[in-house]
A and B are shown apart, each in its own frame.
Chain A
Amino acid sequence: MYGLGIAKSLGVTMRHFVVTYLDDLKWFLQGGFGNRYTPEALPERQSPRARGIFTIQYPKEQPPLPERFRVFPFHVVDPETGKSTCTACGMCARVCPPQCIWVRRGKDPDTGRPAKEPEAFFIDVSICMSCGLCVESCPFDAIKMDQDFEVAAYERYDSFLWGLDKLMKPQAHDIALHPSDYARDQGD
């Protein structure tokens, strides 16, 4: 019969439509109004078993981010010295594919030899590709990937050249973001 195919397609759409209401009803029966939007419910709503409305209500709900998620780099501040463990070896600057890292290695005033910490360190995040090769190549675990994606700005030339003051974050931040990487590094 002509039109049966169209009826089947409409049936699929109708089923999707009805299922969202049934799923809502299921959540309501389990816990009342708003049960759908509790933080415990979010992983279940985002899992492959989810049936209903698939939306994450950003900004009220933050998306669940895996450990390896990468946005822009940051320097890990060693709690004992208060400074980053970077020794200005320049490996990250060499490896960065779009060359957005500038490392200034000054001279140690006492010995006159190259200093063991950077005099200045800049990342131009308006060029950064978030590839993570700088993190992979750092021999001192000084630079790690951050997960803060809320970085919109109103102007371009002053907001996106990040110096060491903006890049340094405490080690506790790194441990909170990457627990299993930290555990593995400690184990080595």
Chain B
Amino acid sequence: MSSQESTLPQLPPELQGTVQLSVLDQLYNWSRKRSLWPMFFGLACCALEMIASFDPRFDLARFGMEIMRASPRQSDLLIVSGTVTKRMAPQVVRLYNQMPQPKYVIAMGACAISGGPFKEGYNVVSGVDKLIPVDVYVPGCPPRPEGLFNAVFALHKRMDQERIADLHWYQKGEEQGIPVPELGPDLIDYRLTASNIPSDYQPARLKTVRPEQVVTQGEEG
């Protein structure tokens, strides 16, 4: 487990040593992480490796991810496996919006992270995080099933650090979905339009947009 230990999310310095996860937090996190249900969302070649990670040799069901649901309403985890094309972009966003909270996204494979080898194509979205927020990225073309397991464990580690008091799906306010892009002369993402952006907007260096942060607390995204 070499490349990862330094990249775990760290608590901010002022909170380290003061925050403790209560038993209730730990129980809550444990029960959520041991019963993640992925959605059957295979787009391209990585889908074969994702299916292979459910076959008898690797068997992701050992970790509680037994049920692979086709319906987004019944699933917790969206494994984006394969190239996201512009034509598919509206459906990806629509499916993500339909998933109920808590929901997590793993971007599996080079194409889902950044467009991969097809990045220069005219029909390819260079990374699914241009459309939806992503929790874990797994590079590889395609990543081995064990690489996907590793991503799932990284997601578990991330889930282990959540506290019930901070969870954004328990806050007040209504969650807005991500606006669904449309197909025009090229892919139109309505978050890029002039009317949505405040006048003093400075483009942040390629940050992903988390709609929950933008809307519910009133803070800047």
- Chain A interface residues (CB < 8 Å from chain B): 46, 53-59, 63, 71-72, 97-98, 124-130, 148-157, 159-160
Given the contacts A59-B153, A127-B119, A159-B7, A153 and B57 also touching, CB distance less than 8 Å: no
**Chain A CB within 8 A of B9 CB:** yes
- Which of B68-76, B130-138, B173-181, B190-198 is the contact stretch? B130-138
Does B87 sit within 8 A of A, measured CB to CB? no
Does residue B149 face the partner (Cβ distance < 8 Å to A)?
yes
Kindly name the residue among B1, B9, B110, B150 whose own CB sees the greatest number of chain A CB atoms within 10 A: B110
**Bound: A114/B9 CA distance, A:** 42
Query: How many chain B residues touch the partner (CB < 8 A)?
Result: 42
Does B94 interact with chain A (Cβ within 8 Å)? Answer: no
Per the bound structure, the CA–CA distance linking A168 and B141 in Å amounts to: 22
Chain B residues near A55: list those with CB within 8 A: 56-59, 62
The reply to whether B206 and A149 form a contact with Cβ atoms under 8 Å apart is no
How far is B2's CA from A58's CA once the two chains are assembled, in angstroms? 16
User: B3 to chain A: which residues have CB within 8 Å?
Assistant: 148, 150-151, 153
User: Which A residues are in CB contact (< 8 Å) with B2?
Assistant: 148, 150
A56 touches B4 (CB 8 A): no
B52 at the interface (CB under 8 A from A): no
B56 & A150 in contact (Cβ 8 Å cutoff) = no
B113 and A156 contact, CB distance less than 8 A: yes
Which B residue sits closest to A53, measured CB to CB? Answer: B56
> Could you say which of B113, B134, B141, B143 has the most chain A C-beta atoms within 10 Å of its C-beta?
B141
Which A residues touch B185, using CB under 8 A?
A: none
Are B136 and A153 in contact (CB-based, < 8 A)?
A: yes
Q: Which of A129, A130, A154 contacts B136 (CB 8 A)?
A: A154
Q: Which residues of A contact B146 (CB under 8 A)?
A: 58, 63, 149-150
Residue among A56, A57, A124, A156 with the highest chain B CB neighbour number at 10 A: A156
Given A54-B56, A156-B137, is A149 in contact with B119 using a C-beta cutoff of 8 Å? no
The verdict on B42 contacting chain A, using a C-beta distance below 8 Å, is: no
Residues 183-221 (chain B) with a chain A CB within 8 angstroms: 205-206
Closest 4 CB pairs of A and B: A98-B117, A152-B151, A126-B114, A149-B147
Contact in complex: B139, A160 (CB < 8 Å): yes
Decide: A152 and B110 in contact? CB cutoff 8 A: no
Q: How far is the CB of A72 from chain B (nearest CB, A)?
A: 8
Task: Contacts A152-B136, A156-B113, A156-B114 known; list 9 others, CB within 8 Å.
Answer: A55-B57, A63-B146, A98-B116, A124-B114, A127-B116, A150-B150, A154-B9, A155-B7, A159-B137
Is there an interface contact between B116 and A153, defined as CB atoms closer than 8 Å?
Answer: no
**A54-B59 Cα distance, complex, nearest whole Å:** 9
Query: Chain B contacts of A126 at CB under 8 A?
Result: 110, 113-114, 116, 137, 139
Chain A positions within 8 Å of B8 at CB level: 154
